Amino acid sequence: MSLNRHLSRSRDLARTAGDHAADMFAPLTLIGRGLRHHAEWAKGRWAATPRERRGPTLFLAAAAVLGIVLLPHGLLFSLVALMASAAWVGRRPKGATAPEPDARDLKLAALYAALTPYLAGPDDLAPLYSFDGQYKSAFGSWEFDGEGRLVALELAYPAYFTDTEPTARARIEQVVQGKAGRAREYRFDWDEESNKLRVSALAPLATDIAAQPFVTAPGEIVLGFTDAVGSQRTIPVNQGGVAAQQPPVVWRTGARSAEPHLLALGTAGYGTSSLLRSIALQALPYGDLVVIDGAGTGEHACLVNRPGVHTVETSLHGAQAALEWAALETERRLTALNTARHSGVAAPEDVTRPLWLLLDHPTELSELANAEGRPDPQDLLETPLRHGRAARVTVVIADDIEARERISPTVRATTRARVVLGPSTPEVAQAALGVPLDIAPAAQTPAGRGYARIGATLPVRLQVPATVDPLDDEAPAQLRDAVIALLPHRDTRTEAAAQTVQLKKESSGVQPRPVW
């Protein structure tokens, strides 16, 4: 018992001695911690100081130290002030640990630091952005999702920033997207009056909508689907085997359309041919088709010998013959429509039935024609393009985005409905659509993903329905079956034509001529 009592007393004495030693050296530990904080702060300030300002800053610091030394008791007072400041900065409650920095604060601070070189002014007396500033002085609000990714941000910028120049805007948008993550799309809303920029991350569009009959009015073509901001209505669709409502991107064609022709540009493998097939399947029940496959890849072989498809051409000679016929057919339709209008009778059914000219990669044929010394097939499109709306002739052209400079001026001037598919930079998207994008494209996009602009409206996001080539054995069987179900047969084509005739009969009271 006495041995245990002696051991316990020895441990208590040792613990008491340790506590006295800790209490003795506590002020030194406190001051040492504060001095380290001061040293780290000075090092950070020196690293943040621009190189051209380091010389004057060092000179002013040396002058201040010299002035303090020359003062009576200046050195003593400065040491006392330094020790007191270090003790105050180095204080920390007993048992407390240094707080871990918040990941959101780190991301916002990094974004603020990245924007500072572009938004800081050297002569600004009260800068929003400075190298030693805090992000809370410029960022008004922000929002993160459950995975810690930035989904919304509102930031202020100085009034002297050139927010009216596309180049300056693109530089800021690129910095924001780089720090927030390039895997998503971002919409940038520039408020020039208030000098504020609102950034919002956009949710990905649905990619599991296959080719199917869409609920639309006559003359309406569903180019694809977008988000709630890009469309004012929704239509029922079969999305992955489940009924859903999705906002469509609708292109209105016909005699009263302000944008009667369409130009689609894209990167190879990102869905321009699928877009043509989707348009063909929607137009075939109530119109006739002429298909020109300039690439000669057989992407549209599924339309050969289908009711309503006049021809599917892949050679230069066949394409020129088909386009020459289309130009003559446009003139014939105009003459018949004018005659019927002057005579006060209903126009014949064969001139009011829509005629669609679908051209896939026509610039390939233009290069062949140039090499053989033949006329450019694009020149044969001038009559259908300029008079197609009155003659019920619609032209749809799809080509590679790298070939946009080889597209004829007539095609570029008359195709006011535009689509761009695949990954693209803001500069390329602006050249294809005609206006700058207020959306920063993602680095990687699925097939059929892009943007659409109908006439003078703002560009909207677009996801083309999965309309695969049914003759492609590598395509999923479910998607191939969906396209095959939409291909017209003689019975379905006759039924659709009879319905159209009956509707016109009931609306006009005149017995029209049958289509077939």
Distance CA 149, CA 131 (A): 24
267 is in an annotated binding site: yes
Q: Positive or negative CA dihedral for 372, 376, 380, 381?
A: positive
* Domains of the chain: residue spans and CATH: 103-202 (no CATH), 220-487 (3.40.50.300)
> What is the model's pLDDT at position 509?
43
In this structure, the dihedral spanned by the alpha carbons of residues 503, 288, 237 and 200, taken in order and rounded to 10 degrees, is -120
273 is in an annotated binding site: yes
The stretches in the chain having pLDDT less than 70 are 1-30, 41, 44-52, 69, 73-75, 77, 80, 82, 86-101, 490-516
Q: What is the residue whose two structure tokens read 């950070």?
A: 44
327 is in an annotated binding site: no
230 is in an annotated binding site: no
Q: Which of 185, 177, 193 is nearest to 462 (CA)?
A: 185
CB distance 184 to 202 below 8 Å:
yes
pTM: 0.75
269 is in an annotated binding site: yes
In the three-class reduction of DSSP (H, G, I as helix; E, B as strand; rest coil), residue 203 is classed as coil
pLDDT digits 0-9 by tens, 406-431: 999 999 999 999 999 998 887 888 88
Amino acid present at 59: F
> What is the model's pLDDT at position 88?
67
Distance CA 282, CA 216 (A): 10
> What is the model's pLDDT at position 21?
44
> What is the model's pLDDT at position 94?
45
> What is the model's pLDDT at position 250?
95
